[in-house]
């Protein structure tokens, strides 16, 4: 499944426990900017989604779109890196509804177009570090998850946010297999979800997400291993209990709930000390893995006093 230089999220040892251009969405983004008084300001209207630049972006060079859309993990479409690009094209991503429930003031089934109305879209150029020890730099277009949580109103007692991917085996052939328990699930502690680095992305390079990248809306948590960044989200639940998450459920000794990028905590089957940047070339040196994927200054305080070897 994985390329021969990847360690691979392998389940052999754990089983059986194992677009179009949406004008309305763009207009919603533009309306958001106008409301924020930014339309004539520093806005960078990249190819489609009107997104303003962000101080949170890295100045590292983003990978070409071609890399980002052809080397993917999206097990709903197969376990090979090129499977998602091959098989995700038939996924219907519009209309799209997101259920928001649990400990919220205004639960409901929200139409994505409505959810995006008035949302300030930003370009966030982030490093993405997969637990398999490869990395990329991706110019996302999206908005802070906390903005959405503020809009629906988090009730007291909520401590976590649980996320679910679409379950539609007719269009997601991987879901006809039992390699993972479907739907794919992820979760964050509420303070992680409210952190300004945590975004919901709807685009890459200013264009709507390709299906293989998690269209029409996915999570991006740049200081955590990529498996936390759940794709094609249809449900978010505010809860007081730590949610069950797919990879942790499949192999708890290998994939923790926290999954913060950490060069000092190796995966049981490979080192996390270094990583291979996609596009670096066959003979390039591996790069050192950065604590919290380089975002330690922003997020290390969230884990003060926690034993990160235990809560990996």
Binding region for ligand MTE (CB under 6 A): 9, 72-76, 128, 130, 165, 184, 213, 226-227, 229-232
Measured from the CB of residue 156, what is the shortest distance to ligand MTE in angstroms? 30
Relative to beta strand 108-111, strand 97-102 is: antiparallel
Other Cβ atoms within 10 Å of 13 Cβ, number = 10
Instruction: Give me the least distance between CB of 124 and ligand MTE, in Å please.
Output: 14
* Residue-by-residue DSSP string for 165-188: E---TTT-GGGGS-SSPSSPEEEE
Contacts of residue 26, Cβ cutoff 8 Å, sequence gap at least 6: 48, 49, 50
> What is the Cβ-side half-sphere exposure of residue 268, based on CA atoms within 13 angstroms?
9
Nearer to ligand MTE by Cβ, of 33 and 72: the residue is 72
Q: Are 284 and 134 in contact (CB under 8 A)?
A: no
User: Using an 8 Å Cβ cutoff, are 147 and 115 in contact?
Assistant: no
Rounded least distance, CB 101 to ligand MTE, Å: 19
Query: Nearer to ligand MTE by C-beta: 28 or 161?
Result: 161
What's the closest the beta carbon of residue 127 comes to ligand MTE, in angstroms? 11
| Smaller CB separation from ligand MTE, 73 or 103 | 73
Least Å distance between CB 144 and ligand MTE?
19
Residue closer to ligand MTE by CB (options 33, 215) is 215
Residue 103 or 129: the one with the smaller Cβ distance to ligand MTE is 129
Asked if 122 contacts 54 with a C-beta cutoff of 8 angstroms, the reply is: yes
Question: Cα–Cα distance between 233 and 194 in angstroms, integer?
Answer: 17
Taking the complex as a whole, the smallest distance from the CB of residue 184 to ligand MTE amounts, in Å, to: 4
- The DSSP code for 268 is T
Instruction: Give the separation between CA 191 and CA 203, rounded to whole angstroms.
Output: 24
- Cβ-closest position to ligand MTE: 226
Pick between residue 184 and residue 312 the one whose CB is nearest to ligand MTE: 184
154 or 246: whose CB is closer to ligand MTE? 246
Element (H, E) at 68: helix 65-68
Nearer to ligand MTE, 143 or 163 (CB): 163
Min CB(140)–ligand MTE separation in Å: 10
Distance CA 80, CA 78 (A): 6
Q: How far is the CB of 281 from ligand MTE (least distance, A)?
A: 19
- CA–CA gap between residue 193 and residue 212 (Å, rounded): 23
């Amino acid at each position: 499944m994985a390329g021969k230089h990847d360690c691979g999220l392998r389940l052999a040892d754990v089983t059986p426990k194992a677009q179009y251009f949406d004008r309305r969405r763009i207009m919603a983004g533009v309306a958001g900017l106008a409301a924020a008084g930014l339309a004539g300001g520093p806005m960078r209207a990249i190819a489609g989604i009107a997104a303003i630049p962000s101080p949170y972006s890295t100045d590292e060079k983003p990978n070409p779109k071609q890399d980002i859309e052809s080397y993917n993990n999206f097990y709903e479409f197969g376990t090979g890196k090129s499977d998602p690009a091959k098989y995700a094209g038939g996924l219907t991503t519009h209309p799209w509804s997101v259920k928001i429930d649990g400990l919220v003031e205004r639960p409901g089934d929200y139409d994505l177009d409505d959810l995006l109305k008035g949302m300030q879209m930003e370009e966030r150029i982030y490093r993405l570090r997969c637990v398999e020890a490869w990395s990329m730099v991706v110019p996302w277009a999206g908005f802070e998850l906390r903005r959405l949580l503020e809009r629906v109103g988090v009730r007291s007692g909520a401590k976590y946010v649980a996320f679910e991917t679409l379950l539609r085996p007719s269009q997601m052939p991987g879901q006809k297999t039992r390699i993972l328990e479907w739907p794919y699930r992820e979760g964050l502690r509420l303070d992680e979800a409210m952190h300004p680095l945590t975004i919901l992305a709807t685009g890459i390079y200013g264009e709507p997400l390709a299906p293989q990248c998690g269209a029409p809306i996915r999570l991006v948590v740049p200081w955590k291993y990529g498996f936390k960044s759940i794709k094609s989200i249809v449900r978010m639940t505010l809860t007081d209990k730590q949610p069950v998450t797919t990879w942790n459920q499949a192999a708890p000794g290998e994939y923790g709930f926290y999954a913060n990028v950490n060069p000092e905590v190796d995966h049981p089957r490979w080192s996390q000390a270094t990583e291979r940047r996609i596009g670096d070339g066959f003979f390039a040196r591996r790069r050192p893995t950065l604590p919290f994927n380089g975002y330690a200054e922003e997020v290390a305080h969230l884990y003060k006093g926690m034993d990160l070897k235990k809560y990996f």
